[in-house]
Structure 1
Amino acid sequence: MRRKIPSTIALAVFEAAARQGSFARAANEVCLTESAVSRQIATLETYLGVKLFTRVRKQVILNDAGRLYLKNIARNLSDIEAHTAALMTHKGVGGVLELAVIPTFANRWLLPRLRDFRARHPDIILNLSERPLPFSFDETNFDAALNFDHPSWTNVVKVDLFDEELVPIVSPRYFDTLRLNAPADLTRFPLLHKSTRPEAWKHWFEITGVSDFTPVPGMHFELYGMVIEAARAGLGAGLVPKVYVQDEVERNDLVVPFDLPLKHEKRYCLVYPERKKDSELVQVFRNWVVSIEAEFVVGVK
């Protein structure tokens, strides 16, 4: 069946005109005349059966339909451009792997190890995009994801990595950590929270035997990376995945006063759609992640 896809030239011209807010500026960007840009837009509108711009005197203004269409196609055009550039650069050798990641996990665990992946597989380009929650691969162009295990992952292959372990952190620069003799001593600190894990501190105190206390009011943050930076700045005590703060602890920027982790809250995993199980690129990345994870687990024991 023939695909209902308009001319890519018309799409590129539309994207430029919508982004620039002007046919004249778009013409300069795509190296066409203004009248040629106008014709391409008119051809696209005829194909779609929808007006994308409102003409007001000599001005053109993107309308609601145009804004929606721009939002939906802009990323796809960027993906086509990136894949084309990668293919031209590598002459068909290797490939491009699109990976969805949890932002802080990517920054704190994955990125510091990617030099090893590039050294082993220089012909593979790995593109990372932020996706903190599970999603449907059928609605994206992702090849795989590094995320948490969750029942909403369907029609996927899951490769378990390691459990999340939350530990308390404080800054030795702002607090006298030598006076922290028991977990209950942390109840005197402002407690820094991750917004989506508001009960984490309560659970941690429970497993350490502290059940009756009135917490000092503390700040809430969307990302663990923010909690870590707030702890470094002396704003209180954070409760964060141990894997995220190894470097800071080694540099003594942060201290784990009690290495009593809150375990099994979540499990990190690599997931990819079942249709990708025979993909050579996905299998190369899978094998690398599993090998790196094994080295990491041994290293933190």
Structure 2
Amino acid sequence: MRRKIPSSTALTAFEAAARHGSFARAAEELSLTEGAISRQIGRLESLLGVPLFERVGNRVRLLPNGERYAAQVRESLDRLDRDSQYLMGQPKDAASLDIAVTPTFALRWLIPRLPAFSRAHPNITVHLSERTEPFALVGSGFDAAVHFEHPAWAGMRTYPLLQEVLVPVCHPSLIKGAKARVSLDQLPRLHRRQSPDAWQRYAKDSSIPLTNPAVGARYDLHAMLIEAALAGLGVALVPRLYVETELAQGRLVAPWPQGETVSKTFCLVLSEPIGLTAGPSRTFAQWLLEEASKARAEEADCDKSARLHE
């Protein structure tokens, strides 16, 4: 079936006229005559079968259908422009990937490891976009997603990466000196807004009694919680994999047990099996799985060492 897609000239003329609210100013922007703008929009309205503008004398006003369509056209043209710019800036033998990823995982785990990928594969550029909720991967424009395991990924191929095991952390100053005898229940607690019951579940999991576990400041992202903990604002319940560096440097301390059951699994999401995925997508997927495997092995070694010193 032949697609009913308006010409790029008509869409560009319509978007400019809608944005300016004027055929004349759209013509000036696009270096066309006002008559040319009017004809393009007339052809577009004829193709669609609905009027987009109300014409009163020499003035025009977008109709409700026109307003909705203008927003959709603007988004499509912007996306096409971005995609074209990406390709225009690529060498002939280069490739690019678009990966959707949860924001804190990108900031605290993935991005610090990307230089190693770039050194090994200098011809592949990785573009990252924030996605906090699962979505339909097919047709989204993304080559892969790095997200939590979720029923919404049904029909996709998911590959486990790492466990998001939560641990309470704080600035060393909160428990130094005389404060060392202060219990977790006496310290200010910080919360992630999307997980309001995390401290309550942690208390049950760890058998550490907490009075009013929901009391405390709330933040949208784990990255914000980590910064708040570094600033000495309280105890943050965050994934250990995000704060390994700060713990090793002594900038944060974790004197309390991990919440072993308060965890989620990060996974790589593909639209088809890795074995059927071609080119740069397969290269990135295999590299990411190897990096996750190394991280799990390092965590296991650290846990083993900690048990030997207990």
TM-score bracket, normalised by the shorter chain, equals 0.7 to 0.9
Residue aligning to 2:291? 292
Residue aligning to 1:220? 218
Distance in structure 2 (CA, Å) of the matches to 1:179 and 1:128: 46
CA contact (8 A) 1:86 1:95 kept: no
Distance in structure 1 (CA, Å) of the matches to 2:22 and 2:74: 17
1:97 and 2:94 correspond: no
Code of the residue aligned with 2:231 in structure 1: it is A
Q: CA deviation at 1:139?
A: 4.8
1:204 and 2:198 correspond: no
Q: CA deviation at 1:122?
A: 2.6
Distance in structure 1 (CA, Å) of the matches to 2:227 and 2:240: 14
Q: CA deviation at 1:177?
A: 4.1
Residue aligning to 1:158? 158
Residue aligning to 1:188? 186
Q: CA deviation at 1:216?
A: 7.4
Distance in structure 2 (CA, Å) of the matches to 1:281 and 1:258: 42
- After superposition, residues 16-55 of structure 1 pair within 5 angstroms as 16-55=16-55
Distance in structure 1 (CA, Å) of the matches to 2:239 and 2:8: 45
Equivalent pairs counted in the alignment come to 299
Please list the CA deviations of residues 220-269 of structure 1 after superposition, one character each: whole Å capped at 9, or x if unmatched: 22222222233233332211111222343345443323252444621000
Q: CA deviation at 1:185?
A: 1.1
Code of the residue aligned with 2:295 in structure 1: it is F
Q: Which moved more, 1:281-290 or 1:22-31?
A: 22-31
Residue aligning to 1:136? 136
* Structure 1 spans left out of the alignment, 5+ residues: none
CA contact (8 A) 1:164 1:263 kept: no
Distance in structure 2 (CA, Å) of the matches to 1:6 and 1:123: 36
Q: Secondary structure at the match of 1:167?
A: strand
Distance in structure 2 (CA, Å) of the matches to 1:206 and 1:58: 71
Code of the residue aligned with 1:96 in structure 2: it is S
Distance in structure 2 (CA, Å) of the matches to 1:124 and 1:62: 44
Distance in structure 2 (CA, Å) of the matches to 1:251 and 1:20: 55
User: Relative to structure 1, is the Cα distance of residues 214 and 275 closer, same or farther in structure 2, using a 3 angstrom cutoff?
Assistant: closer
Distance in structure 2 (CA, Å) of the matches to 1:114 and 1:294: 16
Distance in structure 2 (CA, Å) of the matches to 1:251 and 1:40: 64
CA contact (8 A) 2:202 2:262 kept: no
User: Relative to structure 1, is the Cα distance of residues 275 and 252 closer, same or farther in structure 2, using a 3 angstrom cutoff?
Assistant: closer
Aligned sequence identity (%)? 40
* Structure 2 spans left out of the alignment, 5+ residues: 303-310
CA contact (8 A) 1:170 1:257 kept: no
Distance in structure 2 (CA, Å) of the matches to 1:178 and 1:12: 67
Q: CA deviation at 1:54?
A: 4.1
Q: CA deviation at 1:8?
A: 1.8
